[in-house]
């Protein structure tokens, strides 16, 4: 970690799923964590899973610039700095809708959350990390297997996750002079509320509906923690963590 007692993390989408698992993993490892999400009761539920940890819940819609500014202001006011941003908040958007029928409002909601929200949080983290003493920090963006290959009828989600890869690369390059390390974790079929349908049946590229294997979300959380706890001189630029037998590599 560092000479200080703990490092400070901001985790978005911390009220459930991958964000909750990562936040709890960090809290149990001695990090102080600002929990960001749209539902206060879910953030409280995350904090309750690691009652020994030092957490701060901040109700945040990452698509709103004022909310993001408030999140980082509250974090710095409470903890004094930011060492890590896990840029995790995201949404699949409506599923099962052909491209030609997807409402623009649905497209815009996914873009605002997955891409614009990630940018706003990264921008706020940059501003803090460049000016703090000691300078620097780490940003880990939650990509997806969809950053590599789409599922059927997932145009908005897939487009934003491909864009997130470009955001990661650009942020990583621009962060070099300031000791800001930026990487991305691409996750496939972690068992969460958002992926429960995978086990009962998911639409495949050939039009069939078939169940898919999933993996324990705790394995994702441990991977994020490993990335986070590297010294800033080292960086995992891209990591892919997926259920071993999911249809991704090869022909399905």
- Which are the catalytic amino acids? 157
195 DSSP assignment = G
Q: Which two tokens stand for residue 71?
A: 């999140």
- Extended beta strands in the chain, E state: 8-12, 32-37, 54-59, 84-87, 137-142, 180-188, 202-203, 209-210, 238-242
| Nearest residue to 178 via CA among 124, 221, 123, 127 | 127
Residue written as token pair 């990661």: 168
Q: Yes or no: say if 19 and 12 are a contact pair by the CB < 8 Å rule.
A: yes
* Residue among 22, 247, 218 at smallest CA distance from 149: 247
DSSP string, 133-177: SS--EEEEEE--GGGTSPPTT-HHHHHHHHHHHHHHHHHHHHHGG
Sheet order of strands, 180-188 included? 54-59, 32-37, 8-12, 84-87, 137-142, 180-188, 238-242
């Amino acid at each position: 970690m560092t000479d200080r007692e703990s490092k400070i993390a901001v985790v978005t989408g911390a009220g459930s799923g991958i964000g909750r698992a990562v936040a709890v993993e960090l809290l149990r490892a001695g990090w102080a964590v600002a929990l960001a999400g749209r539902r206060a009761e879910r953030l409280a539920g995350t904090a309750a899973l690691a009652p020994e940890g030092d957490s701060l819940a901040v109700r945040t819609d990452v698509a709103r610039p004022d909310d993001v500014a408030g999140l980082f202001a509250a974090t710095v006011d409470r903890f004094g700095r930011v060492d890590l941003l896990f840029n995790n908040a995201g949404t699949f958007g409506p599923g099962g809708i052909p491209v030609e029928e997807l409402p623009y409002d649905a497209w815009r909601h996914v873009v605002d959350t997955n891409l614009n929200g990630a940018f706003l949080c990264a921008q706020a983290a940059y501003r803090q990390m460049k000016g703090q003493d000691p300078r620097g920090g780490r940003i880990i963006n939650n990509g997806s297997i969809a950053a590599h290959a789409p599922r059927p009828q997932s145009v908005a989600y897939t487009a934003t996750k491909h864009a997130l890869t470009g955001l990661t690369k650009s942020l990583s390059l621009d962060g070099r002079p300031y000791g800001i390390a930026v990487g991305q974790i691409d996750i496939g079929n972690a068992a969460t509320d958002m992926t429960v349908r995978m086990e009962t049946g998911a639409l495949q590229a050939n039009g069939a509906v078939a169940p898919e294997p999933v993996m324990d979300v705790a394995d994702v959380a441990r991977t994020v923690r490993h990335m986070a706890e590297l010294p800033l001189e080292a960086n995992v630029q891209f990591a892919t963590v997926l259920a071993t037998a999911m249809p991704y590599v090869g022909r399905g």
